[in-house]
């Protein structure tokens, strides 16, 4: 099978970029990725974004960003799959390069969440749920996650603070990531005193919405120059799956079937098992989603995903590191850009350029982004090549 290489990576810091526009953030990440790839020019641009039409009043991002990045004339489109938009864009770029129809594809994830505040943001977020049967009733994405978490605590007899380990892990890792929104570790007592947002979710169970852009350039291995300066990282497997959009339609709201299926597809394509995965960049927009992702992907038995965080197993020196550069909780949640940030961060780990957060001997990483409560799930397996 054709080896698709992450030849270039680039990102902006995740923060509230009041002074920068969506196009400025996107172009900054594009230029960084192209420079990192040594100037390889893409034939296609896939943009992952959720809310530009709602919050930035800007659609047609493919043409806009190709224009301002100096790539006029190339194929360029926007890919939308709620929080999985960046991961879905990455998959489209991967398929384009692997097919041979495109020699190099640029994937950009970009989001401006702070162009508006308050109810406007909640209204935009609600468009990712079932508009006719959830949003119209006033259900917010945070309220939805709170309902899931309440049922999880009750069904599996989990302590109220049982999921605290996810926030503690994320913030400990964010402290070593200069691109993260929050770069300070927190203590268990800080979590315990945090303000309740939507019971039982407190402030530290919810990833902060933020602005940011990340980009990767994909190409086939045989097209790389002989003097390519970086360790080679390939996409070994890619999978996307969907589930019922409305949570109440599912037989079991505590099982992310799409995450399960997308992971199985990616592992099968990579010819790998879960035991081969050295680290996992999960989608911790809410602590409960991290726990359910670990269980649905097969890393923990049902009802016990929270124990991995509680026992410290997800730390950089734990038996299964996760959210190694802070995850959504500490790095920040830049909406549709998340999946591309995950690809950049996993590539940094596999290249050996993750700084103080570098994992020793990491060779295979898994990244997964979710749209809503895994109504869409996109999984990629990334592997370092040493030959």
Pick the CATH number of 131-206+235-385 from 3.40.640.10, 3.40.50.720, 3.40.1350.10, 3.40.47.10: 3.40.47.10
Nearest-CA neighbor of 329 among 369, 375, 283, 377? Answer: 283
Give the pLDDT confidence of 132-182 residue by residue, as tens digits: 999 999 999 999 999 999 999 999 999 999 999 999 999 999 999 999 999
Q: What 3-state DSSP class applies to 281?
A: strand
| End-to-end alpha carbon distance in the chain | 16
Q: What is the 3-state secondary structure (H, E, C) of 45-112?
A: EEEECCCHHHHHCCCCHHHHHHHHCCCCCCEEEEECECECHHHHHHHHHHHHHHHCCCCEEEEEEEEC
Tokens of 374: 């895994």
DSSP 299-314: SS-TT-HHHHHHTTTT
Instruction: Collapse the DSSP code of 9 into the 3-class scheme (helix H, G, I; strand E, B; otherwise coil) and give the result.
Output: strand
d(CA 83, CA 87): 8
pLDDT of residue 201: 98
Q: Decide whether 4-117+209-232 matches 131-206+235-385 in CATH topology.
A: yes
d(CA 131, CA 307): 35
For tokens 């992702």, the residue is 293
- Tell the CATH topology of 4-117+209-232: Peroxisomal Thiolase; Chain A, domain 1 (3.40.47)
Beta strands 279-281 and 196-198 are unpaired
Per domain, the residue ranges of the chain are 4-117+209-232, 131-206+235-385
DSSP conformational letter for 7? E
Cis preceding-peptide flag for 200 (omega within 30 of 0)? yes
Q: Are 207 and 332 in contact (CB under 8 A)?
A: yes
Closest CA to 36 of 4, 10, 11: 10
Separation CA 73–CA 175 (nearest Å):
41
Backbone angles phi, psi at 264, to 5 degrees: -60, -40
Which residue positions in the chain have pLDDT lower than 70?
387
- pTM for the full predicted model: 0.98
């Amino acid at each position: 099978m054709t080896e698709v290489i992450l030849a270039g990576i680039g990102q902006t810091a995740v923060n509230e970029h009041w002074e920068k526009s969506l196009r400025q953030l996107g172009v900054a990440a594009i230029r960084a990725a192209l420079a990192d790839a040594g100037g390889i020019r893409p034939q296609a641009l896939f943009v992952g974004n959720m809310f530009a039409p709602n919050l930035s009043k800007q659609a047609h991002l493919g043409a806009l960003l190709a224009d301002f990045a100096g790539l006029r004339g190339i194929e360029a489109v926007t890919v939308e799959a709620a929080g999985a938009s960046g991961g879905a864009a990455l998959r489209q770029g991967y398929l384009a390069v692997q097919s041979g129809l495109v020699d190099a594809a640029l994937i950009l994830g970009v989001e401006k969440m702070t162009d508006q505040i308050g109810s406007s943001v909640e209204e935009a977020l609600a468009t990712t749920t079932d508009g006719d049967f959830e949003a119209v009733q006033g259900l917010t994405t945070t309220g939805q996650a709170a309902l899931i978490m309440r049922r999880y605590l009750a069904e599996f007899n989990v302590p109220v603070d049982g999921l605290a380990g996810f926030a503690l892990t994320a913030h400990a890792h964010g402290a070593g990531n200069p691109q993260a929104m929050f770069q300070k570790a927190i203590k268990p007592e800080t979590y315990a005193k945090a303000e309740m947002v939507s019971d039982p979710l407190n402030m530290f169970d919810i990833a902060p919405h933020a602005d940011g852009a990340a980009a990767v350039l994909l190409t086939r291995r045989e097209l790389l120059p002989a003097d390519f300066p970086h360790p080679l990282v390939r996409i070994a497997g890619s999978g996307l799956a969907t589930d019922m959009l409305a949570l109440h339609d599912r037989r079991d709201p505590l099982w992310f079937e799409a995450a399960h299926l997308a992971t199985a597809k990616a592992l099968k394509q990579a010819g790998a098992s879960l035991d081969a995965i050295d680290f996992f960049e999960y989608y911790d927009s809410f602590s409960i989603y991290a726990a359910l992702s670990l269980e649905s992907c097969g890393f923990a038995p049902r009802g016990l995903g929270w124990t991995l965080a509680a026992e410290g197993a997800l730390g950089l020196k734990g038996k299964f590191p996760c959210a190694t550069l802070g995850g959504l909780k500490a790095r920040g949640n830049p909406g549709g850009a998340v999946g591309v940030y995950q690809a950049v961060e996993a590539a940094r780990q596999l290249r050996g350029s993750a700084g103080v957060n570098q994992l020793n001997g990491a060779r295979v990483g898994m990244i997964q982004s979710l749209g809503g409560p895994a109504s869409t799930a996109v999984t990629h397996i990334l592997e370092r090549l040493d030959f």
